Amino acid sequence: MNVLYLLNQKTLSDFELPILQSKGLGIYIPKIYDSLDVSNSINMENHHRYDHTLTNISPEEMKVLDHFDFFNNNNYNDTIVKIIVKNFSIVILTLLTTTHVVNMIAQNLNGCIYYRFFGRENDLRYQPLLTDIQYPSKVKYIFSYEEIITFEQKFNQFFNEQNSYYVPLGVPDQIFDKYESTYHPQTNKFVFVCSKIGKCPYYTGIYETFNKNLGGFEFTILGKNNEKMVDTDHRIKNNLPDDQYYQQFSTHLAMYYHSTEERHLHYHPLEAIVIGLPIIFHDNSLLSSAYLSDSPGKCHSYTEVIEKLNRLQTGDLPLRDAIISYQNRIKIIHFNLK
């Protein structure tokens, strides 16, 4: 049985794909990405690493798959849909794939399509985006946080026990193996992660708010941004390879995590927890409610964020060590996968 895996977050993929492979499933991941649309600051690498797990796909069909941009919904046609329907029993995707394309695939698919949900920003819901699905029995929904399901079900029972599953996020073993507890600060600068600045209004807004409130501190900004942004803001270290990316986590003083969203969480704070990098974050975020509710790094206002960044920068080791100690306990509870 083959899986068409259309999730483009590298850390997530590195965690989930070995699990799928261990269940005896063949896995296909796309070979073509817009580099600024990969939902991480690290390149998707070694696209062919799971091709050997696939069964009964002809060389001609593989060639078509390898040259197809699955993330451009305008590209889907009868040829690619027939190849998908013939060769895959499971399709895993996000809302990057429109319901129109989902309907094209589901019509003749002898299997199931799974939407993977990580939480929408603010009070936006998923259900209104799914009302056009024409083959509901072939479509299921995977939620990464129970908070998202609870919020959606406040409005109606579109998501229920028959069509919805809770599958928590995990951090790949290789991040534990190579980077766990490697925190050794060598600078007084802080880390901030933000991609797609200038390309995506959502992330551009995050970047502008960050500059407005915390522009007085020295930061290294990690992310996947276009070269124009790098030329404009010299704090940006752009699109780093894995080792260099995580080395920035290890050698900086702390991470500031921007989110004030109750049902949406980025992956980089979870990676920071494994590495041991202390995180300063907002109390009304999913990071707080899902993982770090009692961390000394939690802040109730930008005033408190500024105060704690100042304390860390001036050598408040008890605060730093208390944050790390709490994060280490959470790491053992939530992310100890080995």
Confidence at residue 41, expressed as pLDDT on a 0 to 100 scale: 40
Are 259 and 282 spatial neighbours (Cβ–Cβ below 8 Å)? yes
Whether residue 240 sits in one domain with residue 275: yes
Confidence at residue 337, expressed as pLDDT on a 0 to 100 scale: 44
Whether residue 211 sits in one domain with residue 102: no
Confidence at residue 35, expressed as pLDDT on a 0 to 100 scale: 52
Q: Of 166, 193, 225, which residue constitutes the final position of a domain?
A: 166
Are 104 and 79 spatial neighbours (Cβ–Cβ below 8 Å)? no
Whether residue 197 sits in one domain with residue 114: no
Question: How crowded is the C-beta side of 191, counted as CA atoms within 13 Å?
Answer: 28
Query: Tens place of pLDDT for every residue, the chain, 338 residues?
Result: 999 999 888 888 889 999 999 999 999 999 887 654 444 444 455 678 899 999 999 999 999 999 999 999 999 999 999 999 999 999 999 998 999 999 999 999 999 999 999 988 888 999 999 999 999 999 999 999 989 999 999 998 899 999 999 998 888 888 999 999 999 999 999 999 999 888 889 899 999 999 999 999 999 999 888 777 777 888 999 888 889 999 999 999 999 999 999 999 999 999 999 999 999 999 999 999 999 999 999 999 999 999 999 999 999 999 999 999 999 998 876 665 44
CATH number assigned to the domain comprising residue 252: 3.40.50.2000
Whether residue 178 sits in one domain with residue 49: no
Q: What is the pTM of this model?
A: 0.88
- Tally of domains within the chain: 2
CATH number assigned to the domain comprising residue 41: 3.40.50
Domain that holds residue 25: 2-166
Number of helical (H) and strand (E) elements in the chain, helices listed first: 13, 12
Whether residue 223 sits in one domain with residue 291: yes
Whether residue 193 sits in one domain with residue 158: no
